[in-house]
Structures are given as C-alpha cells and as structure tokens.
C-alpha cells in the first residue's frame, strides 16, 4: 500500500513559512507583499477560487485586492485595469481568473500583465524562461508538484518520468521542470499509442488530462510515485482524480489523493510566487 502524499498539510506548512517571511518583509520594507486578483463575470467555480485566494492571503499577511468586473466588460476596459495594476507600487502579483467570458481573449489580456507581476507564469516571456531553465516565476500547479516531490524526498535525477497531458498550464511546464531536475521525461497525450506500455515504465507518473479514473493500477509500475493532478466527478458525483485511486494505491509507493493532494499546493504556490516577486522588487 502506498504512502499518501498529504498536499493539504504540506500547503499549511508552507503557508506558515510564508507568513514568517511576510513579517520579515514588512519589518524591512514597511509593507506586505501585494496580490491583485481580477474576476470578470459570475462563474460560480471562479467565485470560490477567488474567495479561497483572498482567505489564503489573509492567513499569511499578504495584502490582497480583488477587482470584480461585470461579465460584459470590454477588452479595452480589462486591459486598462491590468495596466493600472502594473503601475501600482503596492501590488507585486497580478492574476486574471480564468476562464474569461467568451468575448474576451485571455491570451491578449495575459500578454498585458507585467512579466515581473505575472504570478501565474502564463506570459510568453515567463514561459520561455522556464524552457531555458532561467526562471523567476513558475506555473502554480507544476511548481506545487515539484514541491511535493522535494518535501517527500523523491529524487528526480535519473528517474523515468512520464507526464500524461500536454496542456500549456500543466503538462508542458511539468515536463520541463522534471527535465531541469535531470529526469528522463516522456510526455503522453491523446495520440499516444499503447499508453499503458509507457506509463508502466514510469518511476514518477504525473497525470493531468481531466478524465476521471483514466489511469488504473494495472497501468503503473510497482513502487512508482503517482501524482494525480486531475479533478473530476465520478458517476456518483464524488470528486475523483485522473487515476483510479483504489487500484493505484495498491501498487504505488507514494500517491496523491483527490481532493487533498495537488489542489492545495496550487493555491499556496501562488502565494509563494507573490512573495518571491515582492522580494525581487524590494531587493530583499
């Protein structure tokens, strides 16, 4: 039976560490790190995410601003707000909560965020920096995965690492981060033939496809580390990941649960990015 990787507890530990650093920054700079979240429209899931982010900021002492805009906001109005926050000396990080209403081009909006305040690391400049291994910002979910591997003592160097999923937000940057740690990385996707034959060779398996219980125990290697990034609902409406937890747990050495695995880490890495952005700006 696998040992459970507790993302919830790990995230709580990191929040305490961040809170201590925030107090140091306040003592030296006279202000806390600042995060601005822009929410356009009334998507229920986005409302929950934004509330949670504000709660995390309050817990760690980070100054938080939530800019709520109506769904009919124009691209020009949204860009104007982004540029205003770019120039705000109290704001170190800016995120635009996705998805945006359909009439807004998220790529255009993200490209207007100042690269040193892009704490989601979605701007093409920051994506390019990740590619060459000279980065200041990391996408929060892949960064959270790497933090979990590190804190649970998983050595990446020399390991066969398989990433299932090739999204710009998780799959691609996840592969690059594992590569930077000297893992031997294979990226699988919807066109991969004989997927199980590839996943069975993985010492470290990261699954981020958004398909409930797609990876089963017979598709993984005995003693492997299984990181499940998925967040789905099964036929009974219960939250589940991209891996069939019950069968994978029997063969893995370490495994993340859903919920309580990668999800809490994604949230806390946003705070960590904001903290890092503030430290760079204030030369601390």
pLDDT tens, residue by residue, 83-136 = 999 999 999 999 999 999 999 999 999 999 999 999 999 999 999 999 999 999
Res 111: pLDDT: 98
Res 235: pLDDT: 85
- Evaluate whether residue 182 is within a structural domain: yes
- Evaluate whether residue 253 is within a structural domain: yes
Whether residues 234 and 177 share a domain: the answer is yes
Res 236: pLDDT: 87
6, 97, 172, 244: the active-site residue: 97
Whether residues 184 and 219 share a domain: the answer is yes
Res 130: pLDDT: 96
Mean pLDDT of 7-14: 98
Whether residues 255 and 157 share a domain: the answer is yes
Using 50, 70 and 90 to split pLDDT, how confident is the model at 225? very high
Whether residues 177 and 227 share a domain: the answer is yes
Whether residues 144 and 252 share a domain: the answer is yes
Mean pLDDT of 21-47: 96
Whether residues 158 and 92 share a domain: the answer is no
Which domain CATH number covers 42? 3.40.50.10860
- Evaluate whether residue 276 is within a structural domain: no
Query: Is 117 considered catalytic here?
Result: no
Query: Is 244 considered catalytic here?
Result: no
Res 173: pLDDT: 98
Q: What percent of the chain has pLDDT over 90?
A: 96
- Evaluate whether residue 279 is within a structural domain: no
- Evaluate whether residue 194 is within a structural domain: yes
Q: What is the mean pLDDT of the chain?
A: 97
Whether residues 110 and 151 share a domain: the answer is no
pLDDT tens, residue by residue, 142-184 = 999 999 999 999 999 999 999 999 999 999 999 999 999 999 9
- Evaluate whether residue 43 is within a structural domain: yes
- Evaluate whether residue 122 is within a structural domain: no
6, 118, 120, 244: the active-site residue: 120
Whether residues 170 and 89 share a domain: the answer is no
Query: Is 53 considered catalytic here?
Result: yes
Which domain CATH number covers 224? 3.40.50.720
Cα→Cα distances 252→125, 189, 215, 244, Å: 37, 22, 12, 12
Whether residues 46 and 108 share a domain: the answer is yes
Whether residues 88 and 151 share a domain: the answer is no
Which of 114, 131, 162 delimits the end of a domain? 114
- Evaluate whether residue 34 is within a structural domain: yes
Mean pLDDT of 201-216: 97
Give the residue numbers spanning the domain of 212: 140-263
Whether residues 163 and 54 share a domain: the answer is no
Q: What total of structural domains would you count in the chain? A: 2
Whether residues 177 and 77 share a domain: the answer is no
Res 274: pLDDT: 98
Res 152: pLDDT: 98
Using 50, 70 and 90 to split pLDDT, how confident is the model at 69? very high
pLDDT tens, residue by residue, 230-276 = 999 988 889 999 999 999 999 999 999 999 999 999 999 999 999 99
């Amino acid at each position: 039976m696998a040992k459970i990787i507790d993302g919830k507890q790990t995230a709580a530990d990191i929040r305490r560490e961040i809170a201590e650093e925030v107090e140091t920054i306040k003592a030296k700079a006279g202000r806390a790190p600042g995060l601005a979240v822009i929410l356009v429209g009334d998507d229920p899931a986005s409302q929950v995410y934004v509330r949670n982010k504000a709660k995390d900021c309050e817990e760690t002492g980070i100054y938080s601003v939530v800019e709520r805009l109506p769904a009919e906001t124009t691209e020009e109005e949204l860009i104007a707000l982004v540029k205003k926050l770019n120039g705000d000396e109290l704001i170190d990080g800016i995120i635009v909560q996705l998805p945006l209403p359909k009439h807004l081009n998220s790529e255009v909006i993200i490209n207007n965020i100042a690269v040193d305040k892009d704490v989601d690391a979605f701007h093409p400049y920051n994506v390019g920096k990740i590619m060459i291994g000279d980065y200041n910002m990391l996408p929060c979910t892949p960064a959270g995965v790497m933090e979990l591997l590190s804190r649970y003592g998983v050595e990446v160097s020399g390991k066969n690492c398989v990433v299932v999923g090739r999204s710009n937000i998780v799959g691609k940057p996840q592969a690059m981060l594992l590569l930077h740690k000297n893992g031997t990385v294979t990226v699988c996707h919807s066109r991969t033939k004989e997927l199980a034959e590839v996943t069975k060779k993985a010492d470290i398996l990261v699954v981020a496809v958004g398909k409930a219980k797609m990876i089963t125990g017979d598709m993984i290697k005995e003693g492997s580390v299984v990181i499940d990034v998925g967040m789905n609902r099964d036929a009974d409406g219960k939250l589940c990941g991209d891996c069939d937890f019950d069968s994978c747990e029997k063969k893995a050495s370490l495994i993340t649960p859903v919920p309580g695995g990668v999800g809490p880490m994604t949230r806390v890495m946003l705070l960590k990015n904001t903290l890092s952005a503030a430290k760079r700006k204030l030369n601390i």
